[in-house]
Structure 1
């Protein structure tokens, strides 16, 4: 699912699957706004995308209708009265003519703002648009979109309308029309009226949440590994409360080493820690450091730490597969071993003063082979915390299944579609997946998802994923590892 998120007049605007919207509008009109809160005097906005039936010159038609009237006796309705479109407006006019000071103050207070807004939209405040008046125009020059603005007969609705030839229309045209609609709202209200609000333009009344990526993972999403998660939370707390650390003269960890078998989630845990801290995530991979030219690797590692000392926001630096960068037993005499020894030596020097130079940086290193890393490099003072990330036990595997399945359901189940059957036995799945890692469990789920997708592609339907199918995928994967 493609989501475009941007800011407009201080509002967060989300446009969901613009290309799909345009494709669907060829067949039936698509309504895009659902349950939004609008600033007074705007009560609601209807935005529809449709297609003309003219086969000779087909076009996409964008229409927005801004309702500015109100039924309850609210500030919105009072403004409607001032505009003269509410029946009670006649009573107000009569009261003003009779010298009623309350009615006069009311009109004086909101009349100027209403008049200014309607002048911007090309309408007369007191009488509405003249019958023969040409409509106003809002335009987005960047994409060449022009929206005609007119006033509907009942006086409370302003309409924007634009057409784009079907062969020329793009997602940019839809985005432009959305911003023109919001511009009209601002013209009716005030420049800061949208600030802090959020608007979603989507085919669905409640658009499904975006699938969680590793960039968005948090410690709450980690299945199993209770002790590991608890220790990482403690590190995060030390980052988020520097005043308490300073008061007690406590020194938070500068470096963290995570080690364990492949697929146990060390990199994911590093991202989750960064998100828990609220830190930027900077991953340094082997090719960024090791250089075939003499002295190149040393220069690279120095530059990485030179940059780290200048970071102005909390940052987690991850050295993944750390052993491949600084593996060294001190005995190698060949050129490759000497180069690694030199990199390890520079790394030690740079780590020694990093926390004093920039306390907002934490270094995390992960490895599958801790025995390949020189002990002096990862001693306390450089890597203060060392965490073993083991393969999950039976209870942890069941918890991993639970959290992964919940994530898939949240991302994909909508509109009556069911992804998983009701009778899933997570405990049995935890038992059946003995020896598997979190990465293995994710792969087992991927295989079942792929099988179901192919069934639907071939036959037009597929039943929800059952316990038997999950167990079969687990057994198949265990037989291949």
Structure 2
């Protein structure tokens, strides 16, 4: 199997009651649900009387910790009063109806207004008379529970008043959730469809569980999760430990343990320190507050000190989990204690206030986690980042060769997920990620992202000039982009 086909994820297939179900990249799907709800099945075809099944997975915070929420809604009713439904009701199969339907299809505005007007009036009359609420046996059914004993998943089953919608809901702790739970919930959903449509109703049908119905946008700094980070396994593992300690304050309190109050991440530019900070915020479900140098340093006497005090005053009032990122930390507190000019004195004053504010921040507001990043750790005074203020110090190095291969893999996979459509292939099938990693010696994650951006731009320009029929991105084109960015050596 080529590296590119590995990046272009294929699904795992299982059979259920005669139906074939394919789950595409379930691990990534579950990771994406930590940030935004993921819808899965809206465009599928269902046996009568089932008209629609909405299946989704999302994330929520519970007192015991964050959880993945699986939900499904199985509907036996038509979409309420859509134009398509109204037109079907009004036009029927008589000759006049078929003629009007043909005129509407040809874009006749008068026929369209007549039919839509009659249909809207009929729909309003039906609604007023209460004829729009069909009676279904499910209306009198009581809430129940469905279970999958293999993975221990339980789903609650409820019915709406009209009896046309059956809802399933199940939760799994985020740290425990696996693709097996998703497969089990899909099975319970299909079991409910069978109860409505009959034991053989799914035979020969095929369903794909994927993110195809979602707007296809690549991961951004705002939506990145730790699962999406490539090539930094040790760093990610350490940040996961921080996230677990943040999400379980009861366990911390039971043992008299104190989670880290501050994290210092340091390393060369472009290694992903800011991205990791955002991923950590998403991992713990926290708001993200980025504080940059201009928000603090002020040319007026005393202004910088007032700014840093106000930032921490606001931090003590946060009532939801919040990660505060001090990016380019060294530019805020550089060379604390050095120099006697006015600028150095201002920096010393800011550094001194920062120390005081960090001393008891976690005690006054346990909702806040402080992260500082720097490319130049030697410029930061040791007293500022001592334990108790910054308990965790993480080096974020340039990626080695295996790490670069992993970064290429995840970035290419993300682009494929976001942009490939039926009939359009973005990357060739013969990519050699190991060769790309070897050729990109010394590059950071930011450099690899730029390599891909340049090739994408070149392909888009070629597409614009020729009107299509552009070949997928090849191994040689990627290698040429790597060589171009590295320059002469």
Bin the TM-score by the shorter chain. 0.5 to 0.7
- Mapped pair 1:53 → 2:107: yes
Listed as ranges, the gaps of 5+ residues in structure 1 are 1-11, 15-32, 67-116, 129-150, 157-186, 197-203
Distance in 2 separating the partners of 1:55 and 1:47: 18
| 1:228-251 superposed Cα distances (whole Å, 9 cap, x missing partner) | 111111111111111111111111
Q: Secondary structure at the match of 1:399?
A: helix
Match of 1:465 among 450, 466, 473: 473
Which residue number corresponds to residue 127 of structure 2?
121
- Partners of 2:265 and 2:222 in 1: CA distance: 19
Q: Does 1:291 align with 2:298?
A: yes
Higher RCO by CA contacts (8 Å cutoff, separation 6 or greater): 2
Q: Deviations over 1:198-243 (max 9, x none)?
A: xxxxxx9835533211111111111111111111111111111111
Change (3 A) 1:352 1:207: closer
Question: CA RMSD for the aligned pairs?
Answer: 3.8
Equivalent pair of 2:74/2:167 in contact (CA under 8 Å): yes
Give the TM-score normalised by the residue count of structure 2: 0.62
Partner of 2:185: none
1:227 equivalent among 217, 234, 250: 234
Partners of 1:41 and 1:189 within 8 A in 2: no
Residues 422, 356 of structure 1: alpha-carbon distance in 2 compared, 3 angstrom cutoff = same
State yes or no: 1:456 paired with 2:463: yes
Q: Partners of 1:13 and 1:235 in 2: how far apart? A: 26
Return the alpha-carbon distance in structure 2 between the equivalents of residues 217 and 480 of structure 1: 34
Q: Identify unmatched segments of 5+ residues in structure 2.
A: 1-36, 40-50, 55-71, 85-103, 136-159, 170-210
1:308 counterpart = 2:362: no
Which residue is 1:242 aligned to? 249
Displaced runs of 4+ in structure 1, greater than 6 A? 48-52, 55-59, 117-120, 190-196
2:346 to 326, 332, 339: 339
**2:370 counterpart (360, 363, 368):** 363
Q: Distance in 2 between the 1:331 and 1:284 partners?
A: 24
In structure 2, the residue corresponding to 1:283 is in which secondary structure?
Answer: strand
2:486 is the alignment partner of 1:478: yes
2-side partners of 1:381 and 1:350: how far apart? Answer: 12
Q: Taking structure 1 as the reference length, what is the TM-score of the superposition?
A: 0.63
C-alpha contact (below 8 Å) 2:52/2:74 kept by paired residues = no
Counterpart in the other structure of 2:325? 318
Deviates more, 1:273-282 or 1:441-450: 273-282
Aligned positions of 1:386-397 closer than 5 A: 386-397=393-404
CA contact (8 A) 1:40 1:189 kept: no
Query: Secondary structure of the residue that 1:387 maps to in structure 2?
Result: strand
Q: CA deviation at 1:253?
A: 0.6
In our comparison, the structure showing a higher alpha carbon Rg is 1
Give SS of 2:404's match. helix
Instruction: Specify the SS of the correspondent of 1:215.
Output: coil
- Indicate whether 1:206 and 2:213 are aligned: yes
In structure 1, the residue matched to 2:259 is 252
How do 1:94-113 and structure 2 match up within 5 A?
none
Q: Deviations over 1:265-309 (max 9, x none)?
A: 000000011111111111011111111111111111111111111
Deviation of 1:41 after TM superposition, in Å, equals 5.4
Separation of aligned partners in 2, 1:44 and 1:54: 25
Partner of 1:403: 410
